[in-house]
């Protein structure tokens, strides 16, 4: 039985694709056979973040419409043997994602022996997003500590609780909160919602706090999931989040302002 993990947020640009790449790579690193699927049909970007953009021949929609087999469309990651990527189509529109078609592809991936199917949801609450969350067993809600992102996350929680397959069958989707682009110094100054504020408001279990980090842009520039950058705060924070997702109990790191020592000030800090 494969576990479907949907990375979602409602609001755009909060870090879903960054998170999908990191979580999928993290699960694969820990030995789980994992596939990550881009549901952002028309605006694919996961391929770039994963560094496989030049290897995309067939995509998710080609598989749904029968123009290609899954084996033809799956791209095996060159760094992690347990990781594969299924790209989104750039030309088709989101109506190409039918419930039946998506369900069939997920079923086939499970049969192929994938343990985790990570779904990178597009922004919004339209077809691509609702399809990505319909089959979810687990949802990772990506939220920035900012009013509109928190509100949209709550709307997505409402949709998960009423429109997902699990909800319709009387069950529930496991919900995990991931706060990204967190700036502990601004939180300390009262300029940014704290992780506890966001948790109080949304009432979802927190699996990680990813700091605002230069490492994320560097990782996307080079097409390497940031979790593989073990010298970075964001990479380590994602690593912890994946462990918590799998049930481990770890203290939160990078949630208090960095004490800038004389040394790092002279050297200009190193993140």
Partner 1 sequence: MALFGLFSGKRKTSAAAAKERLQILISHERQNRRGPDFLPDLQRDILEVVKKYVSVRDDHVSIRLDRAGDASVLELNVILPEN
Determine the residue with CB nearest Mg ion.
17
Q: How far is the CB of 50 from Mg ion (least distance, A)?
A: 12
Q: Applying CB under 5 A, which of residues 6, 8, 17, 213 lies at the interface with Mg ion?
A: 17
Q: How does strand 83-86 pair with strand 75-76? A: antiparallel
User: CA 150, CA 271: separation in Å to the nearest integer?
Assistant: 27
193 binds, among ligand ATP, Mg ion, partner 1, none (CB under 5 to 8 A by kind): partner 1
Calculate ∠ Cα 224-229-183, nearest 5°. 105
> Taking the mean position of all CA atoms in its chain, how far away is CA 191?
26
149 binds Mg ion (CB under 5 A): no
Q: Which class for 171: exposed (0-12), middle (13-18), buried (19 or more C-beta within 10 A)?
A: exposed
Asked if 176 and 138 count as a contact pair (C-beta separation under 8 A), the reply is yes
Q: Which stretch binds partner 1 (CB under 8 A): 65-73, 107-115, 147-155, 253-261?
A: 147-155
Of 111 and 188, CB closest to ligand ATP: 188
Asked if 124 and 12 count as a contact pair (C-beta separation under 8 A), the reply is yes
121 binds Mg ion (CB under 5 A): no
Backbone φ, ψ for residue 82 (5° rounding): -90, 5
147 binds, among Mg ion, partner 1, ligand ATP, none (CB under 5 to 8 A by kind): partner 1
> Taking the mean position of all CA atoms in its chain, how far away is CA 137?
14
User: CA 118, CA 27: separation in Å to the nearest integer?
Assistant: 10
Of 51 and 145, CB closest to partner 1: 145
18 binds Mg ion (CB under 5 A): no
111 binds, among ligand ATP, partner 1, Mg ion, none (CB under 5 to 8 A by kind): none
Q: How far is the CB of 160 from partner 1 (least distance, A)?
A: 12
DSSP SS3 for 269? coil
Q: Which two tokens stand for residue 253?
A: 């790191």
Q: How many residues bind partner 1 (CB under 8 A)?
A: 19
Q: How far is the CB of 191 from partner 1 (least distance, A)?
A: 6
Query: Where do contacts with ligand ATP occur on this chain (CB under 6 A)?
Result: 9, 12-18, 40, 122-123, 180-181, 210, 212-213, 216-217, 220, 234
Of 17 and 29, CB closest to ligand ATP: 17
Host H or E run for residue 168: helix 165-168
Q: How far is the CB of 263 from partner 1 (least distance, A)?
A: 24
DSSP SS3 for 200? helix
User: CA 25, CA 177: separation in Å to the nearest integer?
Assistant: 19
190 binds partner 1 (CB under 8 A): yes
Where does this chain bind Mg ion (CB under 5 A)?
16-17
Binding site for partner 1 (CB under 8 A): 146-147, 150-151, 154-155, 158, 162, 187, 189-194, 197, 200-202
């Amino acid at each position: 039985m494969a576990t479907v993990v949907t990375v979602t947020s409602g609001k755009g640009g909060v870090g879903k694709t960054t998170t999908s790449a990191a979580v999928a790579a993290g699960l694969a690193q820990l030995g789980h056979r994992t596939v990550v699927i881009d549901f952002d049909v028309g605006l694919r970007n996961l391929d770039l973040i994963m560094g496989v953009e030049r290897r995309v021949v067939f995509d998710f929609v080609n598989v749904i419409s029968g123009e290609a087999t899954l084996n033809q469309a799956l791209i095996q990651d060159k760094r992690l043997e347990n990781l594969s990527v299924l790209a989104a189509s750039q030309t088709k529109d989101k109506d190409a994602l039918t419930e039946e078609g998506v369900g069939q592809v997920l079923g086939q991936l499970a049969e192929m022996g994938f343990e985790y199917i990570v779904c990178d949801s597009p922004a919004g609450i339209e077809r691509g997003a609702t399809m990505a969350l319909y089959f979810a067993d687990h949802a990772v809600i990506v939220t920035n500590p900012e009013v509109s992102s928190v509100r949209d996350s709550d709307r997505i929680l409402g949709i998960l609780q009423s429109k997902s397959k699990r909800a319709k069958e009387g069950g529930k989707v496991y919900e995990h909160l991931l706060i990204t682009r967190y700036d502990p110094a601004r939180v300390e100054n009262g300029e940014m919602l704290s992780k506890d504020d966001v948790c109080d408001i949304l009432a979802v279990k927190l699996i990680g706090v990813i700091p605002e980090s230069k490492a994320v842009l560097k990782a996307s520039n080079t097409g390497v999931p940031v979790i593989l950058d073990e010298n970075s705060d964001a990479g380590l924070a994602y690593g912890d989040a994946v462990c918590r997702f799998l049930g481990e109990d770890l203290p939160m790191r990078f949630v208090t302002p960095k004490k800038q020592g004389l040394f790092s000030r002279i050297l200009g800090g190193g993140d």
